A and B are shown apart, each in its own frame.
Chain A
Amino acid sequence: MTAAAIEFQQVTKVYRKMFRGVEVPALTSASFAVERGEVCAFLGPNGAGKTTSISLLMGFFYADFGEIRVLGYPPGDVRAKAQIGFLPENFAFYKFLNGERLLRFHDALGGGDKRTAGARIAELLAKVKLTDYRKLKFAKYSRGMVQRVGLAQALLRDPQLLVLDEPTSGLDPTGRRDVREIISALKTEGRTIFLSSHLLSEVEQVCDRVIIISKGRVVQTGRMKDLLGDSGRVEILVTALPESLAARLTEWGGSFTGNEHGVAVVVDQAHKREVAEGVWAAGHDVVQIAPIRGSLEEFYLKTVGDESGVA
């Protein structure tokens, strides 16, 4: 059986301030798993423990308690790192290099063959739309260009697992769309992607799984479609709405809005049959009945709000 891409079991990390004896828990008994081939969103408010978790799984920090496995290996193991592409938050770079040379440097560190590096790098630069700027010094790069190069270096060496910390940070809408498309393409290829982001609408479009962390604890984890699948309400598109039904909709807590195609009725699942039959009985037609899926943003705010005692 193949090991999960990422496994956290009861992981605890406490920051200790030297000489002051102050202990700040960053992660408390965090447990979650990301299966291979999944695109997983790692969400949480600032200071929730996202970067700490990512640093732990990359082997930058050591856990005080618990066990972490990355692609079946302990964090920091070079066998695991050889299969990981990592984009840190605020990707930093050597200012004296240009995009192409930075990628060559990272390719060499990854054990790449110098003779074939040129073609691979050219392909990646084209993918992130930086071919024309490959010789430009980093000092002259915009924030978005730096992020694109960062993404390109993460994609070097054909990684099985991509760990992306705020990959769309600093990108304009076109850049964000490009990143989304790259992630979707990687997902199709069966790569595992672990993604931390505050842009929930984008996360919702590309991710299969969600892990929400707050105050160092995992407060929600599950498949996106399971978590957001059922809001308990449906949208019924009808050609026209009888007046008698409109009055009853208010009693049921429903609502309706008219448009050029007809009327969109939103009502609890329990009343969908009554609405449909009422419309048909009045001689009108039902065009579509669709369950209303909750948005990730609503779900996130509800979850984190509950956890922090705000909502």
Chain B
Amino acid sequence: MKVWTLALNTLESFLHNRLVLLLLLVGAGIVLIMMAPLLQVKARITVQNTSMVESMVLEAISQVMGFMSGLGSLLAAWAATDSLGSELKAGTVLAVMARPVKRWEFLLGKYLGVLLMMAGYVVMMVGVSHVLAWMGGQHIQVSPLAMFAYPLARYAIYAAIAMLCATVAGPVVSMVVVLAIAILGDMVLPSTPAWKPWLMWLKHGLYYALPSMELLSEERFLSLRQATLHPMKWQEQAVSVLYGWDYALVVLLVAMWSFHYRTLRRD
């Protein structure tokens, strides 16, 4: 109950946060701008160029969705950082923690607040994907549940990492660390160029230690042309999503441990 109260308060604080609203407005604006060429290409379709136009349409849709997905990652990390950082900066944490609330409950409440917001974002993202596909004359045949679960698991990881960083560092440093982890995570994928031989152990180590967003990417199963590029059983999908939630949970537990020993004061 206390955790839920904290989560709803956190969500409400985001809804009143001008920066979040600005980010969403800018995102919506960019999506609208990106839709213009999509609609233009779609309008030029003829019998002769159907195949080419379809491929251009799909490319445009893919880019819009990629942008929204990236924006979501940024939003998740920033929201998690800010949810804790702003409490410490303003000093509101002191009055809250004077209540019979355990530190882990406080952090969990903040985290759930972030996830609630991101769940709303993902619902919006799935909606936009379907609208774009419809406008492009395509149909997404993948279960909406899978389209919801994958990005949310990804955002859960980013939020947990950001929250862990925020327990020991300021918002800017936390965001830099999250971005560095995201970039490094991409650099150590097996598909990337090999590192120098004497650094390969590091690459392998980082590959397993850092969160694998490749595993949690909708691109693994999502196809706008067909139901799936690589047909996946629901068990496989469940394992992938569970991997994401498990990773997020472990990081969140470390964040709770770190926050437990943190000095609480107005920063």
Contact = CB atoms under 8 A, between A and B. Distances in A.
B95 A153 contact: yes
Given A108-B2, A109-B5, A111-B2, A78 B98 contact: no
A61 B264 contact: yes
Considering residues B1, B97, B98, which has the most beta carbons from chain A within 10 angstroms of its beta carbon?
A: B98
A109 B101 contact: yes
Contacts of B100: 78-79, 81-82, 109-111
Interface in A48-96: 55, 58-62, 76, 78-79, 81-82, 84-86, 88, 90-96
B263 A61 contact: yes
B265 interface: yes
Given A60-B264, A109-B100, A92 B95 contact: yes
A105 B5 contact: yes
Interface residues on B, range: 20 to 34
A86 B98 contact: yes
B198 interface: no
B102 interface: yes
Nearest to B261: A62
B91 interface: yes
Interface residues of A, number: 31
B91 to A, nearest CB: 4
A85 B95 CA distance: 9
Interface in A105-122: 105-106, 108-111
Given A84-B98, A92-B91, A92-B95, A60 B263 contact: yes
Contacts of A82: 100
B238 to A, nearest CB: 35
27 contacts: A55-B264, A58-B94, A60-B94, A60-B97, A60-B264, A76-B103, A79-B100, A81-B99, A84-B98, A85-B98, A86-B95, A88-B91, A88-B98, A90-B91, A90-B266, A92-B90, A92-B95, A95-B16, A106-B95, A106-B96, A109-B6, A110-B99, A110-B100, A111-B1, A111-B2, A111-B100, A163-B98
Given A55-B265, A84-B98, A92-B94, 19 more contacts: A55-B263, A55-B264, A58-B94, A59-B97, A60-B263, A61-B264, A76-B103, A86-B98, A92-B91, A92-B92, A94-B9, A94-B13, A96-B13, A96-B16, A106-B99, A109-B99, A109-B100, A109-B101, A110-B99
Interface of B: 1-2, 5-6, 9, 12-13, 16, 90-92, 94-103, 261, 263-266
